[in-house]
Amino acid sequence: MTEIASVLGDAQRAAEARGGLVDKLLAGKMITTPKVEAAFRAVPRHLFTPEVSLEAAYADDVVRTKRDEHGVVLSSVSAPWLQARMLESARVGPGMRCLEVGSGGYNAALMAELVGPTGDVTTVDIDSEVIDRARRRLAAAGYDQVRVVLADAEDGVPASAAYDVILVTAQAWDIPPAWTGQLVEGGRLVVPLRLRGLNRTVTFESRGGWLESTSVLFSGFVPMRGAGAHDKPRLPLDGERIALVFDDDLPESADQLAGVLDMPRADVDTGVIFPNMVSFETLQLWLATAFDGYCHLTVDKEKAAGRIPPTVGMGHAAVDGASLAYLGGHKVDDDMFRFKVHGFGPDAATLAEAFAAQVRHWNHAHRDGPGPRVTVHPRTTPDSELPTGRVIDRRHSRIVLSWP
């Protein structure tokens, strides 16, 4: 009897913790639809996160489930707020056929709840350990109807296509043709996509051979493995203390940047003031579209303290020939922050002023706006058939960021 009482007590505590999490997501407007609320109340998240305590299982935070020998996270159960936002954006509903790329079990169970008995859910992952774990966790939670597939998702899962929704839970650098080709017309692809080094989860709708965004969400995921993996080229500027990171190949002028931090510095005040602790994600995207040489300046703050003025955010920067400029600033008071730009190199003043001008333009034209529209086109699409905007060429696709 004592053992039975303990089991019942654990189930009661789990139900209460799950209810508390859902109430929090509702209060924060992360969940806005009854069907997603019902799915989150039904799926026992703690059964998919046995590595952590009950409290941690129902915290609104990521649970890391696998690391490599260097401690780098290879697989995780995403934060509930992000899963809720992605599912609502995907508009998963009864009877739909869905594919999840990047498995863990929990998200697939939520999708199974949303599609119901007439729907179909497939989850795929490249890692056999992750797949075995997902299969065990799904069975333990009562969702063994979910199809679990071991494969490189670069080719999708054609056996169970076509899909109303493809939901990707790993950071992608490109959109493989299989993902677009295995969607029904008007179907939705929700994918964490790297846009010039910036991580954004984009919901696309299929437009018959190309994709158009319906929402863009700031987020972060573990990187894609397998054929879709892509390393970020790194250019050291001061040993390992300070470096530039690019999303594509290094610029042809990379050798000219040697010693750039030892050259005269230019500082430009943008005059733009922004609230502390508030995301300026549209500014990041605007800068990424404004400069051909957009990149990120990474600084080891302990080892490079005082070497250069502090960066802001991800170290948003631009290079032009032998010169470099990046975004910095300082707190005005406890509530507000003022953006500045710091430049180095022979044309530091010119590049820093151009960078500051783009910050001012964003402040005037896009600060309170919706951000860019993102479209994805086949790699063979000629320039004349692309919308106006910043074109990002990838292995399989041409991605365009267009601002209103």
Span 241-262, pLDDT tens digits:
999 999 988 988 899 999 999 9
* Whole-number Å distance between alpha carbons of 86 and 88: 5
Between CA 181 and CA 205 the distance in angstroms is 12
Which residue among 75, 76, 78, 219 is the active-site one?
Answer: 78
Residue 9 is predicted with a pLDDT of: 58
Sheet of strand 316-320, all strands in order from the earlier edge strand to the far edge: 234-238, 242-245, 294-299, 316-320, 323-331, 336-344, 265-275
Pair 329, 312: CB distance under 8 Å:
yes
User: What's the confidence (pLDDT) of residue 211?
Assistant: 98
Return the pLDDT at 17. Answer: 96
Tokens standing for residue 266: 């230019």
pLDDT at 367: 92
- The full DSSP string for 209-233 is SSEEEEEEEE---PBP-GGG--PPP
* Confidence (pLDDT) at 382: 98
* Tally: H helices and E strands in the chain: 9, 19
Question: Does the annotation mark 78 as catalytic?
Answer: yes
pLDDT-flagged residues of the chain (< 70): 1-9
pLDDT value for 290: 97
Collapsing DSSP states into helix, strand and coil, what is residue 328? strand
pLDDT at 253: 83
Most distant CA atoms of the chain, gap in Å:
80
Residue 7: predicted pLDDT? 42
Query: Pairing state of beta strands 73-77 and 147-150?
Result: unpaired
In this prediction, residue 5 carries a pLDDT of 41
pLDDT of residue 205: 98
Q: Which one-letter DSSP state was computed for residue 240? A: B
pLDDT tens digits along 214-239: 999 988 888 899 999 999 999 999 98
Please give the Cα distance from 343 to 95 (Å, whole number).
Answer: 56
